[in-house]
Amino acid sequence: MFLERLDDKEKHWKFSVNDAIKLAAVRWFALTIEKAGIELYATNTASFPELEKILRKTLGDIDDLRDKFASQEADCPEGYVLCDDDVCRPSCDRLGEPEDNS
């Protein structure tokens, strides 16, 4: 996804065909990680502490990447809004995100 500059004050999203493919890949990775974690836990519940550690590290790495690529522009794709942490989301409420209890 990229922004096409129209003028100094206005920006609009212009999607490429590859965006759908890349978003599908992100979804595939997320679902594959979920599946692998559930299968490992179902195989041996004693794996949970190590599994949780890996998942928390992965989320931390993604947070670091999000911070690196956060948008300070006023434009997000249709259906998304720019939240106070400069990340485009469908909604800025954090009700679905667990608090950091680490």
**Model confidence pLDDT, tens digit, residues 70-92:** 876 767 888 888 888 888 889 99
Contact criterion met (CB below 8 Å) for 26 and 40: no
pLDDT of residue 35: 98
Residue 8 lies in a domain: yes
- Domain span at residue 20 reads 2-71
Domain count across the chain: 1
Query: What DSSP designation does 95 have?
Result: T
Enclosing H/E stretch for 14: strand 11-14
Residue 98 lies in a domain: no
Residue 28's pLDDT band (boundaries 50, 70, 90)? very high
Residue 89 lies in a domain: no
56 contacts: CB under 8 Å, gap ≥ 6:
102
Residue 100 lies in a domain: no
Backbone angles phi, psi at 80, to 5 degrees: -120, 155
State the average pLDDT for the chain.
82
Residue 82 lies in a domain: no
By percentage, how much of the chain surpasses pLDDT 70?
Answer: 76
Nearest-angstrom CA–CA distance, 70 and 101: 24
What is the arithmetic mean of pLDDT over 51-68? 93
